[in-house]
Amino acid sequence: MDNQIIAHLDMDSFYASVEVRDDPSLSGQPVVVGSDPQEGKGRGVISTCSYEARKYGLHSGMPISQAWHLCPHAVYIRPSGKYSIVSARIMEILQDYTRHLEQVSIDEAYLDFSDCGSYDQAEERAFLIKKVLREHEGLSCSIGIAPARSYAKIASDLQKPDGLTSIRPDNLNNIISTLTVDKIPGIGKKSSTLLQSRKLFTFKDLADADIQLLQEIFGAWAVGVQDIASGHDTSGLKDQGPRQSIGRETTFAEDTDNPDLISTTLDDLARSLHAELISVHARTRTVGIRIRYTGFITYTRSVSLSHAEDNLASIMKAAHSLIEEFWEGKPVRLIGIRLSGLVYHDPKQLTLDQFFR
């Protein structure tokens, strides 16, 4: 861990920023990319929104109808396939600055900066990447640098937008100990509320907590959570060759049993995954869905296609058939889609397929 330097790069409000870049008249306005709000009657969720929109309480995963009521004067835009094209260009640029790149979604990636030899050099490289992305793509990003992937992701989130935050090993515990538990990747609002009800508010509280208490909340993930909170995580980039699956998921602001909202959210996830599939020149053999109910009760189901597909309609049809087959009508907290058994058209594109969930 002492010699490992990991960076996490997250494009700032990616979809919305691309729209503002392409239409400067949108600059300074609240921009929302997602489903059609239909004047507050629409179904589906926000894919992303500009920082101006976030001032009104809007955020990714929020029902689009709720967003309309909070900010009816926002500019609402349907997602576009151009995001995957921009993403591919960004990842191609990043490969010039690292020996190992792991793309984890259409707008974020981990980079191995260990060859820099020092945090000073790593920060200089990060500044250069930010400069190049702004000059070539007209977009800003936030970068976190740290001795492990979890802390790099935490760091990238500390100063947004357009931030660069470095957490060095000798100051790691001082920085993270007072952070609130929701800063740990994977812990959302509901988990935070549950932890707070047990008087666990900060990383230090989690580090000092009885592991059995954490196991009651997180199950098998409890040890990993405590390692991160204690400053003991040493995870780096995954070195597993071409990724064989990619996934997307949305956590609802409130648990929902609304079939229309679940259906349109599933469609939005499918569109986003399809764009990523096309961007890496791949097809999928298997479509899977993931549903989480209250209390972290999670189920997954999948179906194999008759042949490898890159057709959006086929992906949507498979996902909907799985939902219809086993959703019990109970309120849903999280829903996701995963495409697996990926088949690549062009071996030259394999280096782009470094996804992590």
Residue 3: exposure state from Cβ atoms within 10 A (0-12, 13-18, ≥19) = exposed
| Cα-based torsion angle of the residue sequence 92, 94, 98, 102 in order, rounded to the nearest 10 degrees | -80
Sign of the torsion formed by the C-alpha atoms of 337, 338, 344 and 346: positive
* 233 vs 228: CA distance, rounded Å: 5
Sign of the torsion formed by the C-alpha atoms of 30, 34, 40 and 44: negative
Query: 168 by DSSP, 3-state: which?
Result: coil
The separation between the first and the last C-alpha atoms of the chain, rounded to the nearest angstrom, is: 22
Inter-axis angle of helices 259-279 and 312-326, nearest 10: 140
CB 103 within 8 A of CB 354: yes
User: Of 295, 272, 273, 267, which Cα lies nearest the Cα of 286?
Assistant: 273
Residue 284: exposure state from Cβ atoms within 10 A (0-12, 13-18, ≥19) = buried
Kindly name the residue from 108, 123, 137, 276 that is annotated as catalytic.
108
Known catalytic membership, residue 102? no
CB 17 within 8 A of CB 140: yes
User: Of 273, 335, 336, which Cα lies nearest the Cα of 309?
Assistant: 273
Inter-axis angle of helices 211-218 and 189-197, nearest 10: 140
* 283 vs 266: CA distance, rounded Å: 19
Inter-axis angle of helices 211-218 and 222-230, nearest 10: 120
Identify the helix (H) or strand (E) that includes residue 214: helix 211-218
List all residues 6 or more positions away from 20 whose beta carbon is below 8 Å from its beta carbon: 26, 27, 31, 50
Positions marked catalytic: 108
